[in-house]
Structure 1
Amino acid sequence: MNVYDLHCDTISAIWEGRKEGKDLFLSASSLQVDLEKMKKGDYQLQTFAIFLDKENTEDCFAAAKEMAELFKKELEKNRDKITQVYSYADIQKNREEGRISALLSLEEGAIFEKSSRHLQWLYDQGARIATLTWNHENDLGYPNRQGNPFKDHPWSWGEERGLKEKGIRALEQMESLGMIPDVSHLSDGGFWDVAKYYKKPFLATHSNARGVAPEAARNLTDDMIRALAERGGILGLNYCVSFVRKDWKPGQPGASMEELIRQIRYIVNIGGEECLGLGSDFDGIEEAPEMENAGGMEKLAEAMEKAGISHRLTEKIFWKNADRFLRENLG
Structure 2
Amino acid sequence: MKRFLVTSALGVILTSALSAYDVSEKANEIAKNTIIIDTHIDVPYRLNDGWIDVTKATEGGDFDYPRAIKGGLNAPFMSIYTPAALDGTPDAKKHAERMIGIVEKMVATAPEKFQIAHSVADVETAFKKGIIALPMGMENGSPISGDLDNIDYFYKRGIRYVTLSHSKANGISDSSYDDNRKWFGLSEFGVKAVERMNNIGVMVDVSHISDTAFWKVMEVAKAPAIASHSSVRKFTPGFERNMNDKMIKALAQQGGVIMINYGSSFLTKGANQYNTNAVKAYQAYLKAEGIENTTEAQEKFRKKYSLETPYPFATLNDVLDHIDHVVQITGSVDFVGIGSDYDGVGNTLPVGLKDVSSYPALIDGLLKRGYSEDDIKKILSGNILRVWRAVEDYAANH
Q: Same fold (TM over 0.5)?
A: yes
- Alpha-carbon RMSD across the aligned residues, in angstroms, is 2.0
Identical aligned pairs, as a percentage? 27
Q: Which residue matches 1:132?
A: 164
Pick one of 67, 72, 87 that aligns with 2:119.
87
Distance 1:218 1:159 in 2: 17
Q: Which residue matches 2:151?
A: 119
Distance 1:33 1:246 in 2: 27
Q: Contact 1:210–1:221 (CA<8 Å) still a contact in 2? A: yes
Structure 1 segments unaligned to the other structure (5+ residues): 147-155
Distance 1:307 1:115 in 2: 47
Provide the secondary structure at the position in 2 that maps to 1:205.
Answer: strand
Q: Which residue matches 1:270?
A: 329
- After superposition, the C-alpha distances for 1:59-111 in whole angstroms (9 at most, x for unaligned) are 10011111111211111211112211112221221122111111011011111
Q: Which residue matches 1:310?
A: 372
- After superposition, the C-alpha distances for 1:183-229 in whole angstroms (9 at most, x for unaligned) are 00111011111111111111001111112222321111111111111
Pick one of 251, 270, 288 that aligns with 2:349.
288
- After superposition, the C-alpha distances for 1:238-278 in whole angstroms (9 at most, x for unaligned) are 10111110243136243201111111111111122100010
Q: Structure 1 length normalisation: TM-score? A: 0.91
1:241 is aligned with what amino acid? S
Q: Label 1:252 to 1:157 Cα distance change in 2 as closer, same or farther (>3 A).
A: farther
Q: Which residue matches 1:171?
A: 194
Distance 2:68 2:180 in 1: 35
- TM-superposed CA distance for 1:157, in Å, is 10
Provide the secondary structure at the position in 2 that maps to 1:206.
Answer: strand
Pick one of 109, 128, 132 that aligns with 2:141.
109
Structure 2 residue 63 is matched with structure 1 residue 33: yes
Q: Label 1:29 to 1:121 Cα distance change in 2 as closer, same or farther (>3 A).
A: farther
Q: Contact 1:241–1:254 (CA<8 Å) still a contact in 2? A: yes
Q: Which residue matches 2:100?
A: 68
Which protein is bigger by CA-based radius of gyration?
2
Across the two proteins, how many residue pairs are aligned to each other?
Answer: 319
Structure 2 residue 184 is matched with structure 1 residue 161: yes
Structure 2 segments unaligned to the other structure (5+ residues): 1-30, 276-309, 394-398
Distance 1:325 1:293 in 2: 26
Aligned residue runs from structure 1 range 153-232, under 5 A = 161-232=184-255
Pick one of 297, 319, 324 that aligns with 2:386.
324
Which structure is richer in relative contact order (CA contacts within 8 A, separation 6 or more)?
2
Provide the secondary structure at the position in 1 that maps to 2:135.
Answer: strand
Distance 2:97 2:82 in 1: 12
Q: Contact 2:270–2:312 (CA<8 Å) still a contact in 1? A: no
- After superposition, the C-alpha distances for 1:140-195 in whole angstroms (9 at most, x for unaligned) are 1200112xxxxxxxxx7988920011111211221221111100011101111111
